Structure 1
Amino acid sequence: MVHMTEVGTVCQGLAGDHRIAGRGTIPRTAGDGPNGQNTGPHARRQDPLHAPCIHGFEPQSPPQCIGEHSTATIPARVVDFSFTISPYQAMHHITLSCLTAALLGASASAQTTPGDTYFSLAITENSHNHVGAKRLFLDFEPSGSNTTPDANLGRVVSRQTGAGSITVDGDASDWDPAYLTTIHGLVQNNYPLSEFIDAVGTDLTIGSAWNSNYVFFVVQWEDAGHDASTRIKKWIHGDQGGGESGWNQKVHTGATAGAPNSAAVNATGHTLSGAESEDRVFFMFPMTDSEGNFADGGPGCAMYCHPNLLEDVAWQNYTGDGVVAMHTNMAGDEADIWHWKSARTEPSGHADDKFLVHALGSASGRTSDNGLSAYYGNDASGANPTSMHSSGLSYTGDRLYDVDAVPYSGSALSGDQIPRYISRAPAASRGDVIAHAGFDPATGRWTVEFVRLLTTGNIDDHDFLGAAAAPPTVPLIASTSVSAGQSKYNSNCAGCHQGTGAGLPNSDNWIFPRVQRASGSLIQKAIATVPAMSWLSISEKEAEDIAAYLQTQAIFLPSHSVTVSIAGTSDAAASVTSIPGGITCPDTCSAEWVDGTQVTLSAASVPGYSFVGWSGPCSGTGDCNFTLTADESVTATYAPACDLVVYCTSNSNSTGSVANIEFEGSCAVSNNDVTLVASPVPNGQMGMFIYSDGLRDVPFGHGRLCLGGGGTSIYRIQPPVASGGSGAFVSAVDLANPPSASGTITPGSTWAFQCWYRDPSAGAPGYNLSNAGYVVFD
């Protein structure tokens, strides 16, 4: 623990001079590096004289803060709270930003009691599904007040506390249990069919305190998976159980036996997809709220941050990440966001400070505060991650600090791992909120503590010294009825969204989207923002009851994969697309749909090639249509187009043009995919394609006969064809069934083709012929 007492140390760091307000000592305890040691080039800095200087920052003077993003002078005064930094964080890694230094030293305006406010709280369990309370009330009470928390009304009492009475270290033993509020967190945001484990209702314990300068929070809950979840999308080399090779993001670990998430509706009976995520705590405080969402009985964050169901994918079991539409609904409305993340912000000792603004549709309104974030991505560079730990590929820790990150090198072995995100000190307003967490693996419980100035002076932050909101009178919804929800759903919603909430799709999209396992917040949001639902009159309690029913609807149908390959050409124009969407081969050549899906595959035409046909569940050269009942592998085969050599030109017909002949298909006899086309020709007339292995050029009717030279035979291709209104004759040629044995087309043989047709409008003799061309068959 470091108890900051006075300004007196200036720390010079990587991004400029970071003056940390304070002197103190750090106990020589085990570090949080690999195997508990304090390692790295700055491990020597365990001297108490260097304690406030984070990772190689050397003491200087005078006390001031000259940073990359701001310049500020820290007044010399007593700082009135404590925080704990482990030696590994303090000596080997950056945990305090320039702005945090200002936070620790800057003085806020004095006020007897801060302004009461409504807020929202949610916790996330290793995914984007979360539970919490969309509307709570923060009641600031002065010292000596007898007001106590009220879970029924969602009243969280923030008690006035003395200087140094709270240590922000992830340990709640210094909080008075009488001032902690436990609420039952309801599901706030499930994807309709998520690739993650569904959220489950969870009891959340929350406390708050304040003094003349700071506001404090503590949040505790039992983690649904009894897992600290510090490996978000971590790079893992080799097979993770699904046949993976090379570097891939860590696959989702699924439910934990005996943990709360094992009772989630979608925890068993199907395979969860997607990469490992992390645990999170999410606060939302209103800044401008013209809609009155953060008021007594208001919907709170329910109006702001829930999925756009129309972007859910029909005919698939998993929705994935990309369907959340988070923004305020009115121009000018804004909300402050604190987002603690177990893998990405905890290493720096902060919560991510952001804010929410207005946007439309599925556009995101989540905006970062000014300054540097506490992490950045360790993206792939070619086949490998960009960076690795300086100690080499044998490093197995879940944290990678920027001072330890070096360019990737070496040859990875199966099981090697590299963190997907790199930690650093946040800067400016992005680093306003200090947070530290503790996880108890024996009970699976998290304790996360937060501290921030009551007022930061930043326009992107909630001002706790603002006007006080009226206290709540409307109880918090904490219990639900599945049977009441089912009855209300069946009478109001089932006609559109179907009896189980499965939705009503057409061939590729939704007529009425899937709502299985939707939250009450999502229902409230839809009624308020979707015109087709504006007629519904459903209370908040009824919305939560409907959600409680829908959250029992698993309906993960058996699913099958379709894998497409393209043969015969590497031309970029050769492609196969699918209905439903999902396959755009050669870019994306496989997709997974539920049992019974009607699948259509279409092959694009390629200049210089003919489409030979399909293998697998289809044949022929048209679209491939099938009902998916098992995994399918489909090959779309192309072949170089035949070179039809036009050697004989006929005469114009009554259309004013000479009928040309075209040869479509492959030169390979074995493919038997030849189609002949002659155009333009008069509409509504009869014609017949003919062929011969002898060539000539003599007048015949209104045109010229180009076949049968040297006494060779001329063969008729049956049946005759009609031009109808298309101005063209089209005939599919069955090479396997010639009109006579002598007319059999074999590999290596050369045959000429022409079309004879009636043309009475041209006068006697009333018939003509197309141009003629020959083909050498393979």
Structure 2
Amino acid sequence: MIASNIRLPHDSGVHMSSHDKGAGQWLVLGLPIALGLAWITQGTGVIGNDPERNIWIPDDLTMPLQVQAAYNGERIFFRYRWPAERAHVYHDMLRYEGGNWVRHGASRVGPDPDGTYEDRVTMLVDDGGVPDFGRYGGYVTVGDRMRFFTDSASPAEVSAHPHLGETLGLTEVQKHLPETRRDAADWRSVVDAETLAAQREAGYFLDLWHWRAGRANPIGASDDQWIGEDRFGDAGQGPFTTNWDGATGQPRWMFDPETTGIHALRWEDVQAETVDFDGIYYLSRAMAVDFDPDHDWQDGDVIPRRLLDEGAGSRSDIRVHGDARWADGFWDVTLVRAMDTGSPLDDKAFREQGVYDIGIAVHRNATGSRWHYVSHPHRLGLGRHADIQARRIDGDSPAWNDDWYEMTLFYPGQVNWPLLTSRAHAGAPDIAAGKPVRPRHSEQQLALYGVEREFNDAIVGQWRLTLIAGLLTMLGVTFALLPAFRPSRRGERS
């Protein structure tokens, strides 16, 4: 038969045996190790809150905001509406505990566990004096080593700075504009005082409207600020001051029992999820008296660490119009200001037929500092076409309807202007060319990028481990199959 004429090499059995043995060793040892490494590096992930590194990621990366605007030739009105699970109106409280007044509600990473951090809405406004703001929004205000970033500058470093520390008395790097630095990637490189003054005169600053649910809203006020080489209050007096005497370790003022019927709030009321907006939940100058250390204070007594007072000067230009209230899961806030305040170094004036750039941010869920949601830059028009059409009205108060401009806000993460304009950012050439961000990236994309940047080092490390795992897998397969490609001795020809 034909089969009887086929002759195999006399050592072919040996070759087959060694091949099987070699392949088995590599497949049994190499592949499980490589695949196990891949499983370890890919299966656990790297996203997680890390307060020691100033990292806390909100559950929701985006949120909705509704906006309306109106003007009557003298005053301009902005209405904001956004969802919030509950109203956080208590901010920075002093609780009596075991003979001491203990502070609750200082700035911290992520949400305040006691809920003692107020809700806020802020709006940046520009009239073209900061061109990059109209293209990239609030990103231009986020500079090198800012507060609550993982690499934030230390208080000692900032305090020692000739301008920021010694002149302005700052201990943190806050929002600032790029051209207030000789090098935008170096927070220390502040330009000289003469240049800063000239920039402000030329309109190179952003107007900042700042509504606070606890430190201003109860007395119908809002804060009025601006951003240049730092964040500043306008000239004059703001709506609150600090109610604390560091020398004695106690408040300066308490509730006037004759006008309020109480000496203090109670901690259980502060912790309640509902707020009586018509009741007493704040301390204002009109209801305060000097603190009485001899009163029979009880554990759980609470005095606000902020005393509210009517502001003065340019800083008091913005007011709450009507009642800013939280109800049925939504805040509804309307602010009003003179279209032209007469303070060109503090405020951006609004004019008929003007077009302006705005960016809005919201703090909710008892968060502060950089844990907010921000918007793309949007255009506001007074009698001209823009994203948001401010409606011309007659009279002193708008008759609002349901014609809202819908925005999506996003969590920005640890993304700053030096990063965006550096080689580390693939879109840096587009920024250099002046291409705006809004047509190119959605809010969801920017939020995900922000989270990615917070964990960039860990993500790169995981990528390297995954690469090693892949290479080991390839090597394992290669060595396992290599014997199959070895030349073997041919059998004798018949």
Structure number with the bigger relative contact order (C-alpha 8 A, sep ≥ 6) is 2
**Which protein is richer in strand relative to its size?**
1
**Structure number, greater radius of gyration:** 1
**Which protein is richer in helix relative to its size?**
2
